[in-house]
Amino acid sequence: MLKFDDQILGDAYCRHFERGPDDDTMVINMGPQHPSTHGVLRVVCELDGEYIKRAEPVLGYIHRMHEKMGETKTYWQFLPNMGRVDYLHAMGWAHTYVMAVEKLGGIEVPERAEYIRVIMTEMNRISSHLLWWGAYLLDLGAFTPIMYAFADREIMLDIMQDPTGSRLTYCYHRFGGVLKDLSPAVLESIRDWVKYQRERWPMYKDLVTDNVILRGRVENIGVIDKDMAIRYGATGPVARGSGINYDCRKNEPYSVYDRFDFDVPVHQEGDAFARYLVRVEEMEQSLRIIEQALDQIDKAEGKHIVKKAPKPTYKAPAGEVYMATEGARGKIGIHVASDGSKTPYRIKLRAPGYCNLSLFAELATGTILADAVSILGSIDLVIPEIDR
């Protein structure tokens, strides 16, 4: 901490965070290695007793310049980066990127590949929400749920490992399709898993959702009204927990999502519990989508990838495109500008977590420190996505 003219100015990364005029306040750091910040996020807080007078997220501890990397690699070489931007919903990011490049190059995707992409992306959404569920409850002091979450998530990862070859930072999508088809055995495993996972929800509800201790930590905590959510550009479960009925899969349909019957969970309360409920209900909706995709995939035309799929030396035509999809944390946006070479001229990523975290400074003001942990967890942060 630096001192200048008897004023505490903060450190080199946050010089503008000055302590207020009150003599009895204290400046502390949460993170960048605090368990509740879910990665290398640092939050500088000015406290009056246990109450937060100001709180400011400080980024930059894991910055890897993904967008600049995208401008120095070929379209193919940049594909694995998507799994590193958001390692919990790698399928969602890869889906967005390949669709942006396909839109730029006019590359058609076989129907079967579209169904496979949807199945795998929705499975990955559930695995992301499950890990959030367990980690959030761990933040609040409950240890048992994360063991259940990991056990159930492992079943999904075992199934997804067969076609993808990996368990976390998936690089399964290809321009014009996917790496490998889903075999009949894998499709059958997914059907069995859907039934198993659906039978688990009542236990989750009894153990956690109806638990009076959880309710005390999340109800009426961190209330984000609709106006605040819009002002900060919040999307995903954060926005839908504040009454905003917006989901790219419904409002800006892409791939084959318009062929499925599913609901968009929305809650009006805007508190941490509303965001909790949205994610829990979304897992059930993802199961509905997967079930319908499994029923329809055998009638889909084509194979898992287009015949003349682009090669690693692929040159996209000159132009620019923007593609948006619904990720586990909200709206993913990718803007690609091409000058006709093998390397993108510009790439810009729109990460939902960055906008969702931006509202934390305003939201945390006036709350107690223990509630700040509950609020941060309810936003569902994946730091590499925010600090990309």
Q: Distance between CA atoms of 94 and 196, rounded to whole angstroms? A: 27
Residue 35 counted as domain residue:
no
Residues 6+ apart with CB under 8 A from 3: 9
pLDDT of residue 60: 85
18-64 pLDDT per residue, tens: 667 777 888 888 878 777 777 788 899 889 999 998 888 888 888 88
pLDDT of residue 32: 80
CATH number at residue 138: 1.10.645.10
Nearest to 265 by CA among 253, 250, 255, 254: 250
Record the tokens describing residue 210, joined without a space.
Answer: 């109806």
Establish if 15 belongs to a structural domain: no
For 75-78, the CB contacts below 8 A with 24+ separation are 75/101, 75/175, 75/310, 75/314, 75/316, 75/342, 75/343, 75/344, 76/175, 76/310, 76/312, 76/314, 77/312, 78/344, 78/347
Q: Are 171 and 76 in contact (CB under 8 A)?
A: no
Domain presence at residue 286 = yes
| Position 305 pLDDT exceeds 70 | yes
Residue 135 lies in a domain: yes
Give the predicted TM-score (pTM) of the model: 0.92
Token pair of 316 as six digits = 């996209």
Using one digit for the tens of pLDDT, what is the confidence trace for 337-346? 999 999 999 9
- Indicate the DSSP class of residue 318: S
Structural domain tally of the chain?
1
E strand residue ranges, 175-311:
177-178
Q: Are the C-beta atoms of 263 and 277 separated by less than 8 Å?
A: no
Q: Which residues contact 97 (CB under 8 A, 6 or more apart)?
A: 78, 79, 82, 173, 323, 334
Domain range spanning residue 190? 66-385
Give me the pLDDT at residue 41, please. Answer: 87
pLDDT in tens, 206-253: 999 999 999 999 999 999 999 999 999 999 999 999 999 999 999 999
> By the 8 A CB rule, do 72 and 81 touch?
no
Q: Token pair for residue 279? A: 């994610």
Q: How many residues are there in the chain?
A: 388
Q: CA torsion sign, 187 to 190 to 195 to 198?
A: negative
